[in-house]
Amino acid sequence: MTDLSNGVAWMGGKIIPIADAAIPVTDWGLTHSDIAYDVVPVWHGAFFRLDDYVNRFIASLTAGRYDIGIDRDGIFAALQEMVYASGMQDSYVAMVAARGRNPVPGSRDPRDCANHFYAWCVPYVHIVKPDAATKGTSIWIAKSVRRIPEDSVNPRVKNYHWGDFTSGLFEAKDKGFETTLLLDHDGNVTEGPGFNVFAVFGDRVVTSDHGVLHGITRSTVLEMCVEAGLKPEARPLPLEEFWQADEVFMSSSGGGVIPVAQVDDRHFSNGAAGPVASGLRKRYFDWIMRDAYRTPIKAP
């Protein structure tokens, strides 16, 4: 029997071990980073907010002019079949549209490419280890690079353009920080690799509204803030204002709400997870178990 415990892929209608999944070396998804994707978490045997994640993926397909030959129901069915086959109860599930190979020799016309869909899942990914997230993690604001402008690469389309993030991560790791946060060219806080960021000022919770992916977990946080009696604001967040925050935290499909104890040499919440962030972290793991947001894994 094939071992699928390390991960599974759905490619061309077939379920295969993730170690066997591959795309051709001439696929524009590889050679040009020409890919749109999304990631939905599976927690305790059910997808969380699956409709919302698939809706955003389809919006990305439209924005990127991908024609993957599979409709919404087909995407749902592929994800269900794949995760069910894996046997995983907690998983990180990716749905991907790649531009594909260009069959016309020498063509630079993206309309000639054969777009395609594939998916894969692995055991649930925490972008920050849970014990570090509970205590409060650390972020380095990149100094050598700024976020790719949103009129160059649309950040609302989840994509593989990580050149700016990778440069920031090298800086952060070299200085002993967990991850990195990028500014835009006007000095406003944007986002980091795989997460949105929030700053807490009393009962106000502020996150950037531009230069960022409008994450589903970000949306969940904004909704949770209202339920918790907090006042969410989505707007530009200048670095000078960010430094005055009482607390800072991240949001990601890989771990929910993640408190931040340190940014550069500045310690927030006395170098620990702040009470607002900690409360929202607990609330997130309550929300992820609410029936209204869950789509149970079932046999195809």
Domain end residue (candidates: 88, 123, 158): 123
* Domain identity same for 65 and 135: no
CATH number at residue 82: 3.30.470.10
* Domain identity same for 279 and 173: yes
pTM of the model: 0.95
CB atoms near residue 118 (< 10 Å) = 21
* Domain identity same for 141 and 263: yes
* Domain identity same for 139 and 114: no
Question: Would residue 224 count as lying in a domain?
Answer: yes
Domain end residue (candidates: 108, 123, 138): 123
Q: What is the pLDDT along the chain (300 residues), one digit of tens a residue?
A: 577 889 999 999 999 999 999 999 999 999 999 999 999 999 999 999 999 999 999 999 999 999 999 999 999 999 999 999 999 999 999 999 999 999 998 899 999 999 999 999 999 999 999 999 999 999 999 999 999 999 999 999 999 999 999 999 999 999 999 999 999 999 999 999 999 999 999 999 999 999 999 999 999 999 999 999 999 999 999 999 999 999 999 999 999 999 999 999 999 999 999 999 999 999 999 999 999 999 999 988
Helices (H), 153-238: 163-174, 216-227
Question: Would residue 187 count as lying in a domain?
Answer: yes
Separation of alpha carbons 98 and 58, rounded Å: 13
- Domain range for 253 is 130-287
* Domain identity same for 101 and 172: no
The tally of domains found in the chain comes to: 2
Residue 232's φ and ψ, nearest 5 degrees, are -80, 145
Q: Which residues of 86-113 are buried (b: 16+ CB within 10 A; e: fewer)?
A: bebeebbbbbbbbbbbbeeeeeeebeeb
CB atoms near residue 74 (< 10 Å) = 13
